[in-house]
């Protein structure tokens, strides 16, 4: 139990002293995960909405694959992205391995299926309700898609937050493709893993508390935004 | 109003994404070093790299994995410099045409840590092979790295000398953690097991629990570190010039002195030996 | 106003699912002017007939022809109100504005149109309220306002008052009457014979997917041309 007390005082002192190293790690974590969420949203919303609204060959396969990919193991994603970005791999010439860009790619791969699959579910339910009315008003399916995405905005915000939660919590993928390089690719989760392997459990736990607070902060901010928009 | 906040969120996302691209372009002056968890976890790099970076303006990016994985990364061309501790593999790396030349950098030693109670009664032995035989005979829990790292290779070499087939015992008293030095020490501490560790990681490790050093001083526990430039003929993108600058500095009197000066609690972790 | 797309000619219209003809060879013509009420017991095919005429579903065979369309898109001159009002997740006025935008009405013209239909339907005070917090009756009024804003030549209504209380029903009937007064052809299904008497000028009576009779409303209620019609009015026809 002394570990918890030490962890708590560690977390507090890191925050109170505005530890520069910590600030760098936190900012990088946010930048990587938010960028991944941003890109995954750009891919996932239209993809999810399209599979909800259109009947085309292979649609069911896409739905099944997306649903299955929601549970992709981060380590496997990291390994695949590593093999693709390695100098020996097909995209090696871009020199992206061990950079934040590689981490964004890995996290995007990890979370766009979540965003797409949940979007499909939300949009499909709404489309069932709206389809006749929108077609009666003269909306083509292409015109109806942004309408549905907009009208589902509150549910979709939760979907996007789910993606952010998974991105910011995973360690397996960013560890492999980022390399946990100090000042370059070290993020909250890899820093925690490092402190665990150094045996500094109290510091690791302290960092964990900060990560959880961050996650709470982002979710809370989104919730406030949503309530404000509603009111 | 709602539209506005969504647009703002999108812009925020863009802004968050922007600096990354500029960041990776701006910091182009860097070398990537594939190294081992034992060096990184000891804190050596944190102590010496800032000196080099300040002097040359070259950032050193250390990717710390097991020696086996580090060598694979270097073979793939994902690092400019290889800095590990398994001489045999390092020589094979150079002989295979992946590296330019291997240099000795420093050494320390391995030791066997175990529970204070010492159920296998190995405390104080100076013959590590005899000690490991006793551990096996008692079937006292022993945690192995099991991750193809330099330390793991060393440990397997020692078991070979005992003539005991530990792999067939894996999962009983012999347990492979399949993880880095630190994680393996965490496991050993939690199980009250014996474990082979490098002195650098041991000294900087904070979660020892009941573990203490039981066996040390055998010359077979010698742990030599080497450094190799990845061959630019094999991987033309390798930053040969900056990589060589880093190697030269590590081998220079200044670099060697810095390594020798690195201590934890007044104890030196590595002995520089670049010049013989 | 554009030249009307009416009359509507329906020829040998059939809609079948799994071999069963839910609409079975129906033919009739509807002229501009009179309010047409589609009557019939449950499962007669009233809602299906409306959707087929409006173009929401494609017939298995037969034709729906707008004789007056002359090459213009007849869909642009129709609107439909459903039994369950479909409210977009936005304000009352934004619901109307969305429909106007789809019809290509310019931003500057929308405002005036929105104000007009909201005040005519008594929804002005809810203009900035999210549509989905309105009561069911008010939502149906908004659905009517949204359709009205489009100035349709033909308005289809599928049991618009089926889920409303008497006061709500009355308000909706008044709005329908006002829309008709503005020159819009009304085609409406209902269960409520009283409503059919109040609003109907002519009756299409359906039974089991077939058109049994198309009769001027007053004579249908006094002496229907068919035995089935008589049975329906007597309440003997369950389906």
What is the tens place of the pLDDT at every residue in C51-106? 999 999 999 999 999 998 888 899 999 999 999 999 999 999 999 999 999 999 99
pLDDT reported for residue A200: 85
Predicted local distance difference test score (pLDDT) of residue B24: 43
- Of B162, B147, B166, B157, which Cα lies nearest the Cα of B88? B157
Contact C123, C157 (CB under 8 A): no
Residues with Cβ < 8 Å from A125, sequence gap 6 or more? none
CB contact under 8 A, A86 and B78: yes
B116-to-A200, B37, B208, B210, C8 alpha-carbon distances in Å? 21, 26, 11, 6, 98
- CB C80, CB C52: distance < 8 Å: no
A200 with B32: Cβ contact below 8 A:
no
Quick one: closest CA in B to A222, which residue?
A: B9
Domains of chain C (ranges; CATH) run 33-54+76-233 (3.40.50.300)
**Alpha carbon of C99: minimum distance to chain A alpha carbons (Å):** 6
**Distant-in-sequence contacts of B87-91, Cβ < 8 A, 24+ apart:** B87/B224, B87/B226, B88/B153, B89/B150, B89/B153, B90/B226, B90/B228
What are chain A's domains?
2-230 (1.10.3720.10)
Q: How confident is the model at residue A135 (pLDDT cuts 50, 70, 90)?
A: very high
Pick B109-221's CATH classification: 3.30.499.10, 3.40.50.2000, 3.90.930.12, 3.40.190.10.
3.40.190.10
Contacts of B182 in chain A (CB under 8 A): 196-199
| Cα distance between residue B203 and residue B38, in whole Å | 11
pLDDT category, B37, cuts 50, 70, 90?
Answer: confident
* Residue C212 three-state SS: strand
For chain A, positions 191-220, list CB contacts with chain B under 8 A.
Answer: 194, 196-201
Nearest to A168 by CA among A101, A213, A226: A213
The whole-model pTM stands at 0.85
CA-nearest residue of chain A to B79? A87
Q: Does the beta-carbon distance from A179 to B19 stay under 8 Å? A: no
From chain A residues 138-167, the ones with a CB under 8 A of any chain C CB are: 138-139, 143, 147, 150-154
Rounded CA-CA distance B189/B209 in Å is 5
**Read out DSSP for C24-67?**
EEEEEEE-SSSPEEEE-STTSSHHHHHHHHHTSS--SEEEEEET
Q: How many CB atoms lie within 10 A of CB C29?
A: 13
* Element housing B11 (H / E): helix B2-26
Instruction: Identify which has the larger pLDDT, B12 or B263.
Output: B263
Which residues are CB-neighbours of A47 under 8 A, at least 6 positions away?
A: A62, A66, A112, A116, A119
| Distance of residue A46 Cα from the nearest chain C Cα, in angstroms | 19
Is the Cβ–Cβ distance between B258 and B48 less than 8 Å? yes
A136:C54 CB<8 A: yes
Supply B31's token pair.
Answer: 């070398």
**pLDDT > 60? residue A95:** yes
pLDDT tens track for A4-19: 787 788 778 877 777 7
Please, which chains are in contact with B (at least 3 CB pairs closer than 8 A)?
A
A90 touches chain B (CB under 8 A): no
Distance separating alpha carbons of residues B242 and C150, to the nearest angstrom: 72
pLDDT value, residue C239: 56
Confidence of residue A20 (pLDDT cuts 50, 70, 90): confident
pLDDT in the model for residue A17: 76
* Tens-place pLDDT, residues B152-197: 999 999 999 999 999 999 999 999 998 888 899 999 999 999 999 9
Helices C136-149 and C92-102, axial angle in degrees (round to 10): 30
Q: Is the pLDDT of residue B27 over 60?
A: no
DSSP state string for A170-228: --HHHHHHHTT-TTTT--HHHHHHHHHHTT-HHHHHHHHHHHHHHHHHHHHHHHHHHHH
Q: Note the pLDDT of residue B22.
A: 41
Size of interface A-B (CB pairs under 8 A): 109
Instruction: Decide if pLDDT at A218 tops 80.
Output: yes
Q: Name B215's bridge partners.
A: B112
Chain A residue numbers with beta carbons less than 8 Å from the beta carbon of B63 are 98, 179-181
Is the pLDDT at C135 greater than 50, yes or no? Answer: yes
Q: 3-state class of B173 per DSSP? A: coil
CATH code assigned to B2-107+223-272: 3.40.190.10
Q: Whole-angstrom Cα distance, residue B131 to residue B216?
A: 10
| C-beta neighbour count of A17 within 10 angstroms | 9
Tens digit of each residue's pLDDT (9 = 90 or more) over C164-213: 999 999 999 999 999 999 999 999 999 999 999 999 999 999 999 999 99
Cα(C36)–Cα(A184) distance, rounded to whole angstroms?
A: 74
- In contact, B77 and B238? CB cutoff 8 Å: yes
Residue with tokens 């087929």: C52
Query: Roughly what angle, to the nearest 10 degrees, separates helices A20-53 and A188-197?
Result: 130
**pLDDT at position C230:** 93
Per the DSSP assignment, residues forming a β-bridge with C156 are C80, C187
Contact C86 A129 (CB under 8 A): yes
CB < 8 Å to C90, chain A: 150-151
Suggest the residue from B11, B20, B211 to mutate for an interface test with chain A (most A CBs closer than 10 A).
B20
Q: Give SS3 for C95.
A: helix
Every domain of chain B and the residues it spans? 2-107+223-272, 109-221
Cβ–Cβ under 8 Å, residues B122 and B205: no
């Amino acid at each position: 139990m002394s570990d918890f007390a030490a962890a708590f005082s560690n977390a507090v002192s890191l925050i109170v002293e505005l530890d520069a190293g910590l600030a760098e790690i936190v900012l990088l974590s946010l930048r990587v995960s938010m960028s991944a969420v941003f890109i995954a949203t750009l891919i996932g919303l239209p993809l999810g909405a399209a599979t909800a609204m259109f009947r085309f060959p292979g649609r069911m396969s896409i739905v099944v694959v997306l649903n299955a990919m929601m549970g992709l193991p981060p380590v496997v994603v990291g390994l695949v992205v590593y093999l693709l970005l390695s100098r020996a791999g097909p995209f090696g010439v871009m020199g992206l391995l061990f950079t934040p860009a590689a981490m964004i790619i890995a996290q995007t791969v990890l979370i766009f299926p979540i965003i797409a699959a949940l979007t499909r579910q939300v949009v499909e339910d709404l489309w069932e309700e709206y389809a006749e009315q929108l077609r009666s008003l003269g909306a083509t399916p292409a015109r109806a898609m942004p309408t549905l995405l907009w009208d589902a905005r509150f549910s979709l915000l939760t979907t996007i937050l789910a993606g952010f939660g998974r991105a910011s919590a995973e360690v397996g993928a960013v560890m492999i493709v980022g390399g946990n390089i100090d000042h370059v690719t070290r993020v909250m989760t890899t820093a925690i893993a490092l402190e665990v392997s150094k045996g500094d459990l109290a510091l690791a736990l302290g960092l964990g508390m900060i990560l959880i607070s961050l996650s709470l902060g982002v979710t809370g901010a989104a919730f406030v935004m949503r309530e404000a928009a509603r009111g | 109003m709602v539209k506005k906040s969504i647009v703002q969120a999108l812009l925020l996302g863009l802004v968050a994404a922007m600096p990354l691209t500029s960041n990776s372009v701006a910091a182009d002056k860097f070398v990537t070093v594939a190294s081992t968890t034992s060096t990184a976890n000891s804190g050596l790099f944190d102590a010496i790299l800032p000196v080099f970076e300040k002097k040359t303006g070259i950032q050193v990016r250390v990717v710390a994995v097991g020696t086996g994985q580090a060598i694979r990364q270097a073979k793939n061309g994902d690092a400019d410099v290889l800095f590990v501790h398994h001489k045999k593999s390092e020589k094979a790396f150079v002989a295979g045409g992946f590296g330019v030349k291997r240099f000795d950098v420093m050494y320390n030693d391995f030791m066997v840590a175990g529970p204070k109670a010492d159920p296998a009664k190995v405390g104080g032995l100076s013959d590590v092979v005899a000690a490991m035989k006793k551990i096996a005979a008692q079937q006292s829990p022993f945690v192995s790295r099991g991750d193809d790292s330099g330390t793991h290779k060393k440990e397997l070499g020692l078991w070979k000398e005992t003539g005991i087939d530990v792999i067939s015992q894996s999962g009983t008293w012999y347990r492979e953690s399949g993880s880095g030095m630190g994680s393996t020490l965490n496991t050993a501490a939690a199980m009250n097991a014996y474990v082979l560790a490098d002195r650098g990681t041991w000294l900087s490790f904070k979660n020892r629990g009941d573990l203490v050093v039981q066996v040390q001083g055998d010359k077979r526990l010698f742990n030599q570190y080497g450094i190799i430039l990845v061959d630019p003929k094999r991987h033309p993108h390798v930053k040969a010039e900056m990589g060589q600058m880093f190697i030269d500095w590590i081998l220079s009197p200044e670099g060697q002195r810095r390594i020798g000066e690195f201590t934890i609690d007044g104890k030196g972790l590595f002995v520089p030996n670049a010049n013989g | 106003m554009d030249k009307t797309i009416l009359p509507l000619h329906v020829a040998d219209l059939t809609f079948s699912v799994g071999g069963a003809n839910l609409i079975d060879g129906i033919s009739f013509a509807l002229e501009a002017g009179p309010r047409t009420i589609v009557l019939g017991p449950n499962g007669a095919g009233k809602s299906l007939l409306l959707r087929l005429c409006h173009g929401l579903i494609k017939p298995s065979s037969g034709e729906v022809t707008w004789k007056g369309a002359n090459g213009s898109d007849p869909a642009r001159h129709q609107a439909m109100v459903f039994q369950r009002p479909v409210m977009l997740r936005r304000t009352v006025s934004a619901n109307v504005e969305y429909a106007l935008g789809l019809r290509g009405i310019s931003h500057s013209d929308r405002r005036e149109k929105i104000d007009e239909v909201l005040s005519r339907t008594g929804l002005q005070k809810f203009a900035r309220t999210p549509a989905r917090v309105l009561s069911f009756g008010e939502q149906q009024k908004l659905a009517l306002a949204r359709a009205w804003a489009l100035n349709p030549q033909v308005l289809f209504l599928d049991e618009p008052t089926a889920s409303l209380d008497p006061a709500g029903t009355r308000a909706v009937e008044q709005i329908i009457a006002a829309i008709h007064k503005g020159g819009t052809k009304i085609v409406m299904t209902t269960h409520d014979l009283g409503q059919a008497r109040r609003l109907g000028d002519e009756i299409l009576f359906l039974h089991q997917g077939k058109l049994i009779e198309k009769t001027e409303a007053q004579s249908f209620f006094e002496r229907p041309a068919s035995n089935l019609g008589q049975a329906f009015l007597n309440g003997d026809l369950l389906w």
